[in-house]
Amino acid sequence: MASDQTLRERVDALYSFTAERSSQHSDLGQISRLVTTSRERLDRPMQVAIVGLIKAGKSTMMNAILGEEMVPTGQVETTFNVNWLQYRDRPALEIRFKDGTEPEWRSFEELDQLTRRADGTHDYLKRIRHIVVHYPSEILKQLHLIDTPGLESTHEDDSQNTVEFLQLHGDEISERTREEASSADAVLYLFSLGVHESDRNAMTLFHGPTIAGASPINAIGVLTKVDNYWNATEPDVDPLETGIRVATRIAREPDIKRIFHGVYPVCGLLAFGARTLDDSEFEALRELATASRDQLTTMMMSIRRLREQDFPEIPVSPERRAPLVDRLGAYGIWAACEELRQGANTREQLKQRLLERSGLPRLERVVLSHFGNRSFLIKLERSLAELSAACQLGRQSRAEHARQLGEEIAGEVERLKLQEHVFEELRLLSDFYDGKLTLGPDEAQNLLEITGESGTTVGDRLGLGNRATLEEMEIEALRLLGHWRNRASDFATPRREAAAARVMERSYEHLLYHLREAKRHLQLYE
Do 281 and 297 lie in one domain? The reply is yes
Domain assignment present for 502: yes
Domain assignment present for 477: yes
Encode pLDDT of 412-422 as tens digits. 899 998 889 99
Structural domain that includes position 302: 277-357
Do 84 and 152 lie in one domain? The reply is yes
We report the CATH number of the domain holding residue 110 as: 3.40.50.300
**Structural domains in the chain (count):** 4
Give the integer Cα–Cα distance in Å for 428 and 402.
Answer: 34
Q: Using CB atoms within 10 A of its CB, is residue 342 exposed (0-12), middle (13-18) or buried (19+)?
A: exposed
Give the integer Cα–Cα distance in Å for 127 and 81.
Answer: 10
Q: What pLDDT does residue 229 have?
A: 95
Do 150 and 257 lie in one domain? The reply is yes
Do 112 and 179 lie in one domain? The reply is yes
Quickly list DSSP for 466-510.
T---HHHHHHHHHHHHHHHHHHHH-TTS-HHHHHHHHHHHHHHHH
Domain assignment present for 424: no
Q: Are strands 128-135 and 263-265 parallel, antiparallel or unpaired?
A: unpaired
Do 115 and 214 lie in one domain? The reply is yes
Domain assignment present for 272: no
Give the integer Cα–Cα distance in Å for 60 and 272.
Answer: 7
Do 54 and 148 lie in one domain? The reply is yes
Do 284 and 197 lie in one domain? The reply is no
Q: How many residues does the chain have?
A: 526
Do 257 and 281 lie in one domain? The reply is no
What is the maximal distance between C-alpha atoms in the chain? 86
Encode pLDDT of 231-284 as tens digits. 999 999 999 999 999 999 999 888 888 888 999 999 999 999 999 999 999 999
- Please choose, from the candidates 191, 349, 222, the residue with its C-alpha nearest in 3D space to the C-alpha of residue 274: 349
Domain assignment present for 432: no
Do 86 and 164 lie in one domain? The reply is yes
Domain assignment present for 28: yes
Instruction: Confirm if 205 and 162 have CB atoms less than 8 A apart.
Output: no
Domain assignment present for 433: no
Q: Is 431 left (phi over 0), alpha (psi -120 to 50) or beta?
A: alpha
In our burial notation (b when 16+ CB lie closer than 10 A, e otherwise), range 379-400 reads bbbbbbebbbbbbeebeeeeee
In percent, the amount of the chain with pLDDT more than 90 equals 48
Give the integer Cα–Cα distance in Å for 49 and 82.
Answer: 10
Q: Which of 357, 384, 410 is the last residue of a domain?
A: 357
Cα 277 to Cα 67, 97, 269, 317, 354, distances in angstroms: 10, 36, 12, 18, 10
Give the integer Cα–Cα distance in Å for 154 and 152.
Answer: 7
pLDDT tens for the chain, 526 residues long, are 444 558 888 999 999 999 888 888 777 777 888 888 888 888 888 888 888 876 778 888 989 999 888 876 655 455 567 888 999 999 999 999 988 889 999 999 888 878 765 555 677 877 888 899 999 998 899 889 988 776 655 555 656 665 565 554 433 322 322 233 346 788 888 988 777 666 666 665 554 444 446 788 888 999 999 999 999 999 999 999 999 999 999 998 888 888 889 999 999 999 999 999 999 999 999 999 999 999 999 999 999 999 999 998 999 999 999 999 999 999 999 999 999 999 999 999 999 999 999 999 999 999 888 887 788 888 898 888 888 888 877 777 777 888 888 888 889 899 998 889 999 999 999 899 888 999 999 999 999 999 998 888 999 999 998 889 999 999 999 999 999 999 999 999 999 999 999 999 999 999 999 999 888 888 766 6
